Amino acid sequence: MFTEVRQAILPLALRNLKRRGDLERTGLLIESLAGHWRDSQPLHLLIVAPARDAPLLRNELPRFPNIEVEVRAESEFFPTFSRFYMMTGWYRQQMVKLQVPVMLGFKGYLTLDSDVCCVGDFDAKTFIEDGRALSRWEPKRYQDWWKNAAEIVGTPYDTKQHGLSVTPNILHGDLAAQVLRFFSKDGGDALGSLSLWVLRKLGQIPWTEYSLYTCVAEREGNLLDYHVHWDPSYFSSIQLFSERTCVWGADDFERLVKLPPGTDPGGKFIIVQSHARIPLEQVRDYCLSFAG
């Protein structure tokens, strides 16, 4: 079960035309983590990137004493002829979040991407309640990938149920390993099996890492052994994520930037979409304006 969360994973591929923007966003994420991590030991942030990007990331990302940043190439975890490289970048990032923590023996871990910023203080025990994680949930009825994932895993699809939501979130290596075992049964390969489902459902989203994680754990009956049920999670005084202070577009930013300094953001993490094209310094000022 969960005892602490002091490891985080960030899959990152620098886009050819905007490499500097992706790099700077990741630097802001690291800066925000450093400003809010309140534990006696450093937070370990593992960045997994294509081999071509790893040297630049190692050399230019900011360093802080309380955030231990480690950059490793995808090729360290996925061999040259792996089906991993036949997937699009979106699915490759999902597989990184499931497979790499298992290979490295992670227990509880935080999933991140470069559009995420930390806006509230936390430590290794903040999101743990009686051995289970206060993770982020969503109703299954809102996204088609829940129905597709239920079909793939062979579990009932119930629109009244909830599943673990998208990044940022908190997962456990035990349940991630359970997903890989499920799709490797009968001597198969998890990456191969999941790649086939992408082809079978062209034009749809057949699965996300979180829908697979949820559905396999539901099938095995151990999801709520590791994660606090969605009902108390939604109403907990501790929230991993705040929807109300996220920036999805320029209009959101114009409204939210007027919040008084020190406003409670409503959660420990928010998203400021890079597609909103807000200048980085303005994003930085906004993210660092919240109360701890």
Q: Coil, helix or strand for 207? A: coil
Residue of 191, 221, 230 lying closest to 207 (CA atoms): 191
Q: What is the C-alpha to C-alpha distance for residues 76 and 87, in angstroms, rounded to an integer? A: 17
Higher per-residue pLDDT: 185 or 5 = 5
CATH of the domain at 99: 3.90.550
235-263 confidence digits (pLDDT tens): 999 999 999 999 999 898 999 989 998 89
Cβ atoms of 48 and 74 closer than 8 Å: yes
Tokens representing 136 are 């982020």
Q: Whose structure tokens read 């062209």? A: 202
Q: Which residues pair with 73 in a beta bridge?
A: 49
The predicted pLDDT at position 198 comes to: 76
Residue 231 located in a structural domain: yes
Q: What is the C-alpha to C-alpha distance for residues 127 and 119, in angstroms, rounded to an integer? A: 15
The DSSP bridge pattern shows strands 169-172 and 43-49 to be unpaired
- What is the residue range of 124's domain? 7-287
Q: What is the C-alpha to C-alpha distance for residues 124 and 117, in angstroms, rounded to an integer? A: 17
Residue 259, number of CB atoms within 10 A of its CB: 14
102-141 confidence digits (pLDDT tens): 999 999 999 999 999 999 999 999 999 999 999 999 999 9
Residue 1 located in a structural domain: no
Q: What is the C-alpha to C-alpha distance for residues 265 and 244, in angstroms, rounded to an integer? A: 8
The predicted pLDDT at position 21 comes to: 84
Q: In sequence order, which residues have a C-beta less than 8 Å from that of residue 54 and are 6 or more positions away? A: 71, 72, 73
Q: What is the C-alpha to C-alpha distance for residues 88 and 199, in angstroms, rounded to an integer? A: 12
User: Measured in Å, how far apart are the chain's first and last C-alpha atoms?
Assistant: 28
Q: Is the pLDDT of residue 88 over 90?
A: no
DSSP label at 258?
A: T
Q: What is the C-alpha to C-alpha distance for residues 61 and 40, in angstroms, rounded to an integer? A: 23
Helix (H) or strand (E) holding 111: strand 108-111
Q: What is the C-alpha to C-alpha distance for residues 146 and 152, in angstroms, rounded to an integer? A: 10
Q: What is the C-alpha to C-alpha distance for residues 288 and 292, in angstroms, rounded to an integer? A: 9
Cβ atoms of 85 and 48 closer than 8 Å: no
Residues in the chain: 292
Residue 92 located in a structural domain: yes
- Is the omega angle on the peptide bond into residue 168 within 30 degrees of 0, that is, cis? yes
Higher per-residue pLDDT: 195 or 260 = 260
Phi-psi region of 97 (alpha: psi -120 to 50; beta: other; left: phi over 0): alpha
Percent of the chain predicted with pLDDT > 90: 79
Residue 66 located in a structural domain: yes
Domain count, the chain: 1
Q: In sequence order, which residues have a C-beta less than 8 Å from that of residue 40 and are 6 or more positions away? A: none
Residue 292 located in a structural domain: no
Q: Is the pLDDT of residue 16 over 70?
A: no
Q: Whose structure tokens read 């602490």? A: 4
17-62 confidence digits (pLDDT tens): 556 789 999 999 999 999 999 999 999 999 999 999 999 999 999 9
